[in-house]
């Protein structure tokens, strides 16, 4: 009984720990700054520390130089040639080709449809694990000439606003402001972004686990069953059904 209580306590602790969200702050003006915080930990992803990068490069160069020196010192040993004729290995049938041969175009399309459905569900789950607390985007569009600027502004709006609408519909968004402005005077192109995101690790892990389970039961089992060649009676019945459907369609 005590062991079960301890296990339940450990599981509850990890669930609570994974429920604490990661904070991601992205700021882009002159450069891109990305910072990730979780509890009392803080990681600066971008910009990278130049001194650390230089030290890593120096260490790599030293290791490569040592390896080259060791290889140069070792005397080259001539390996005896193997004159035995090796038998050609029997090629195994590709599992996907085997499935296609056994199930035809319709069966393969059905398998792909199932997998795409499962994949779409996972991507929606991953998107829902993110929350956009703040998102401010400002784009300035210019092309020198006023007419070219107007054309470029229209194309940018037609591509940018639907993309933002998709993000807002798919993800959790609390506060956002997006704006595209044409720059008829200076004709400059500028982009400013400031975003604060929260990621719930528990939701992300749940989405991945659910994807794995759905893939096994909805796609994997069907794929493995499809490796077996259908019986001639079943193949004849399937052909009859196809002929009937074609006749009804005519």
So what's the pLDDT on residue 4?
87
Q: How far apart are CA 199 and CA 208, in angstroms?
A: 14
Question: How do residues 209-227 score in pLDDT, each as one tens digit?
Answer: 999 999 999 888 888 888 7
Q: How far is CA 30 from CA 135, 170, 182, 192, 193, in A?
A: 18, 29, 20, 8, 10
What are residue 139's DSSP bridge partners? 180, 191
So what's the pLDDT on residue 223?
87
So what's the pLDDT on residue 54?
67
Query: pTM score, two decimals?
Result: 0.65
So what's the pLDDT on residue 169?
86
So what's the pLDDT on residue 172?
87
So what's the pLDDT on residue 59?
77
- 38: its two tokens: 């979780």
Instruction: Kindly provide the b/e burial profile for residues 21-54, where b requires at least 16 CB atoms within 10 angstroms of the residue's own CB.
Output: bbbbbbbeeeeeeeebeeeeeeeeeeeeeeeeee
Q: How far apart are CA 146 and CA 142, in angstroms?
A: 8
So what's the pLDDT on residue 134?
92
DSSP state for residue 219 in the 8-state scheme:
I
| Residues in the chain where the model's pLDDT stays below 50 | none
Residues 6+ apart with CB under 8 A from 46: 31, 32, 33, 34
């Amino acid at each position: 009984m005590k062991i079960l209580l301890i296990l339940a306590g450990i599981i509850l602790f990890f669930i609570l720990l994974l429920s604490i969200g990661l904070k991601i702050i992205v700021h882009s003006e002159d450069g891109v700054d990305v910072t990730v915080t979780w509890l009392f930990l803080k990681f600066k992803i971008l910009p990278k520390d130049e001194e650390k990068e230089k030290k890593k490069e120096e260490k790599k160069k030293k290791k490569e130089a040592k390896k080259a020196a060791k290889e140069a010192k070792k005397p080259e040993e001539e390996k005896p040639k193997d004159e035995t004729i090796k038998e050609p290995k029997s090629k195994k049938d590709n599992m996907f080709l085997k499935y296609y041969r056994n199930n035809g175009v319709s069966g393969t399309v059905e398998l792909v449809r199932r997998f795409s459905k499962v994949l779409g569900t996972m991507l929606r789950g991953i998107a829902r694990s993110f929350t956009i607390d703040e998102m401010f985007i400002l784009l300035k569009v210019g092309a020198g000439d006023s007419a070219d600027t107007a054309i470029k502004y229209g194309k940018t709006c037609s591509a940018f606003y639907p993309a933002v609408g998709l993000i807002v519909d798919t993800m959790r968004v609390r506060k956002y402001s997006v704006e595209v402005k044409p720059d008829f005077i200076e004709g400059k192109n500028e982009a400013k972004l400031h975003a604060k995101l929260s990621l719930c690790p528990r939701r992300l892990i749940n989405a991945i686990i659910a994807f794995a389970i759905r893939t096994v039961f909805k796609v994997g089992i069907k794929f493995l069953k499809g490796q077996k060649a259908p019986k001639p009676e079943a193949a004849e019945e399937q052909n009859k059904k196809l002929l009937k459907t074609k006749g009804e369609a005519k």
